[in-house]
Structure 1
Amino acid sequence: MNFVKVCPLAEVPADGALAVEVDDTPVAVVRSGEEVFAVSDICSHAEVSLSEGEVYNGTIECWLHGSCFDLRTGKPTNPPATQPVATYKVKVEDGDVYVSLDSED
């Protein structure tokens, strides 16, 4: 598993998201409570940045049309989105956030 350092944890807002790039892939690093997640930063419905949306109850909401995506699975929890967004593995070490785009465990 190839993890890439993307940012200090302190840069990720509490119950919010930060846009980063990993190997030219737009990624939203999201903090929900004490947990940190990484999902595609591109909404599967409207192709806008998810990191600009609201984070609540383990989801991130697209600011344009209001679709929410589960931070664990990437699946939409309400319309208009019907396709999931990619989710990525995250680890936090020594105050820094690392993301892996690898799909295998």
Structure 2
Amino acid sequence: MSDMQWTVLCTTAEVLPGERHVAWLGDTPVLVVNHDGDFYALEDRCSHEDFELSPGPYDADAGTIECVLHGARFDVRTGEPLCPPAYSAVQTFPVMVQDGLIYVSDPR
């Protein structure tokens, strides 16, 4: 592992291709998404209205998740907003997979 501080969030078996899983990094809810076999982690909070993203529809083809509250969509790979009413990115976390475990690091 690198010099970064890494925390185990879940196992790869908990997040099969096209699926997602919510875990906690301290007091921060983190949404882990398996998009085409790659794992991405973003804060489980819409940047528009501080509402959880995890209940929203995930489009596995586009790699996006939509907030159910007002319809803002985000790229799960970058956290970037793709449409109004969100204009700010969602916090993302570096991901490392080792021995079937999904680790994240907190860059904040």
| TM-score (norm: length of structure 2) | 0.86
1:29 maps to which residue? 32
Percent of aligned positions with the same letter in both sequences? 44
CA deviation profile, 1:62-95 (whole Å, cap 9, x unmatched): 1222211112221100111111110110011111
* Counterparts of 2:36 and 2:65, CA distance in 1: 13
1:2 correspondence with 2:5? yes
* Counterpart secondary structure, 1:10: helix
Contact conserved, 1:2 with 1:102, CA < 8 A, in 2? no
CA deviation profile, 1:39-75 (whole Å, cap 9, x unmatched): 0101111222112222221222112222111122211
Root-mean-square deviation (CA, aligned residues, Å) is: 1.4
Aligned length: 103
* Structure 2 unmatched ranges of 5 or more: none
| TM-score (norm: length of structure 1) | 0.88
* Counterparts of 1:38 and 1:72, CA distance in 2: 8
| Bigger Rg, structure 1 or 2 | 2
* Counterparts of 1:67 and 1:15, CA distance in 2: 20
* Counterparts of 1:77 and 1:22, CA distance in 2: 25
Q: More strand by proportion, 1 or 2? A: 1
* Structure 1 unmatched ranges of 5 or more: none
* Counterpart secondary structure, 2:13: helix
What does 1:1-105 align with in structure 2 at a 5 Å threshold? 1-56=4-59, 57-102=62-107
Letter in 2 for 1:61: E
